[in-house]
């Protein structure tokens, strides 16, 4: 079947000869916009408990989490034989370098873990940490994938959601990592308050200018108990929302503008229903979303990068 967009899983298969399955690890880190260094309370949309599996909890050692992760994914992806330790919750470069080395190297010593995927913020990497990650890639042959939470291309939005960093900081962090041979990914949210559909679509050209390997996108989901939930209740007019079919067409409009070499890791989010204040799309799983996207791309006879500048 003709591939109408690039998927990260295909890049890993081509480069390493197999699927590299991510195993989520909670290493007990926090964020500078939670502990008062930048701000307190975190991003207005965020509850980290909604975004990682039950086997990943900081009361367990990294080794224990990886063992449980292998068993969890063995049932879902029995052909997966190599893994990335995915340091996901909060900001996973936000600690002294010696602490990071201890956490990362415990993960890298686990059987069949060939590298690290590290979720972090653009303002939580410095030259010393980059030097170390570069050495893992160039001296030890490890896969190192830095996944930056950027969320929006617009500083007005980043300030509104209490993100605590600018887009220029994100650009600098991405470029620095890429210049060192570290794989780079970024996460963006569609539907943040104050952003119009046109603004979101125009963001594709901005994203195209970054030295990124891959992208994760998801529609804004309103998590119970967050400040975003209260804003959505009081000011629903600030938010763009979509039915499932509308979102798929919107994403295809975006994909057509996106640089054709960028790898898509995810195009929609899937939060457990107990965490969200509504499930307007029903309980549609990711595999079904992918099928719907591919079907609609074929119906529109279009592909990633069709209108990229």
**Looking at the domain assignment, is residue 60 inside a domain?**
yes
DSSP 38: S
Q: Indicate if the pLDDT at residue 145 is higher than 70.
A: yes
Give every CB contact of residue 293 below 8 A, 6+ residues apart in sequence.
248, 251, 252, 267
Please report the pLDDT score of residue 149 as a whole number: 96
Q: Indicate if the pLDDT at residue 289 is higher than 80.
A: yes
Residue 62's pLDDT band, with cuts at 50, 70 and 90, is: very high
Residue among 156, 179, 155, 181 at smallest CA distance from 169:
155
Q: Indicate if the pLDDT at residue 198 is higher than 70.
A: yes
**CATH code, domain with 145:** 3.20.20.70
The mean-pLDDT minimum among 10-19, 42-51, 105-114, 147-156 falls in: 42-51
Which tokens go with 94? 């936000």
| Better-scored residue on pLDDT, 80 or 150 | 150
Phi, psi of 283 (to 5 degrees): -100, 65
pLDDT digit string, tens, across residues 200-243: 999 999 999 999 999 999 999 988 999 999 999 999 999 999 99
The mean of the pLDDT values for the chain is 92
**Looking at the domain assignment, is residue 2 inside a domain?**
no
Domain extent at residue 81? 8-300
Please report the pLDDT score of residue 301 as a whole number: 96
**Looking at the domain assignment, is residue 309 inside a domain?**
no
**Looking at the domain assignment, is residue 222 inside a domain?**
yes
**Which conformational region is residue 7 in: left (phi greater than 0), alpha (psi within -120 to 50 degrees), or beta?**
beta
The mean-pLDDT minimum among 73-82, 145-154, 182-191 falls in: 73-82
Q: How many domains does the chain have?
A: 1
Please report the pLDDT score of residue 16 as a whole number: 81
Question: Mean pLDDT, to the nearest integer, of 139-151?
Answer: 96
**Looking at the domain assignment, is residue 1 inside a domain?**
no
**Looking at the domain assignment, is residue 193 inside a domain?**
yes
Question: Mean pLDDT, to the nearest integer, of 279-286?
Answer: 78
The DSSP code sequence of 213-250 is SEEEEEE---BTTSHHHHHHHH-GGG-----HHHHHHH
**Looking at the domain assignment, is residue 306 inside a domain?**
no
The mean-pLDDT minimum among 3-12, 44-53, 178-187, 289-298 falls in: 44-53
Please report the pLDDT score of residue 116 as a whole number: 98
Q: Indicate if the pLDDT at residue 27 is higher than 60.
A: yes
Please report the pLDDT score of residue 210 as a whole number: 98
Residue 51's pLDDT band, with cuts at 50, 70 and 90, is: low
Q: Indicate if the pLDDT at residue 273 is higher than 70.
A: no
Please report the pLDDT score of residue 263 as a whole number: 96
Alpha-carbon distances of 80 from 18, 32, 75, 228, rounded to whole Å: 7, 35, 10, 37
Q: What is the pTM of this model?
A: 0.93
């Amino acid at each position: 079947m003709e591939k109408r967009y690039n998927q990260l899983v295909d890049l890993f298969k081509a480069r390493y000869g197999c699927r590299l399955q991510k195993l989520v690890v909670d290493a007990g880190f926090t964020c500078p916009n939670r502990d008062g260094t930048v701000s307190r309370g975190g991003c207005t949309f965020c509850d980290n408990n909604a975004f990682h599996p039950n086997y990943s909890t900081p009361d367990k050692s990294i080794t224990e989490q990886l063992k449980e992760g292998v068993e969890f994914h063995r049932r879902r992806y029995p052909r997966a034989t190599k893994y990335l330790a995915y340091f996901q919750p909060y900001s996973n470069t936000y600690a002294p370098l010696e602490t990071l080395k201890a956490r990362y190297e415990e993960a890298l010593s686990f059987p069949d873990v060939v590298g690290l995927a590290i979720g972090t913020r653009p303002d939580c990497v410095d030259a010393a940490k980059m030097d170390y990650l570069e050495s893992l890639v160039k001296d030890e042959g490890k896969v190192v994938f830095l996944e930056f939470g950027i969320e929006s291309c617009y500083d007005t939005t980043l300030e509104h959601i209490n993100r605590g960093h600018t887009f220029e900081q994100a650009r600098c962090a991405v470029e620095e990592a890429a210049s060192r041979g570290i794989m780079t990914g970024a996460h963006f949210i569609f539907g943040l308050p104050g952003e119009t559909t046109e603004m979101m679509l125009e963001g594709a050209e901005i994203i195209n200018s970054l030295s990124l390997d891959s992208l994760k996108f998801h529609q804004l989901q309103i998590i119970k108990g967050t400040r975003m939930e209260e804003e959505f209740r009081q000011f629903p007019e600030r938010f763009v929302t979509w039915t499932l079919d509308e979102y798929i067409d919107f994403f295809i409009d975006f994909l057509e503008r996106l640089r054709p070499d960028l790898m898509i890791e995810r195009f929609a989010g899937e939060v457990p229903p107990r965490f969200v204040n509504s499930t307007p799309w029903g309980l549609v799983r990711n595999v079904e979303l992918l099928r719907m996207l591919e079907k609609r791309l074929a119906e529109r006879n279009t592909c990633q990068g069709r209108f990229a500048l």
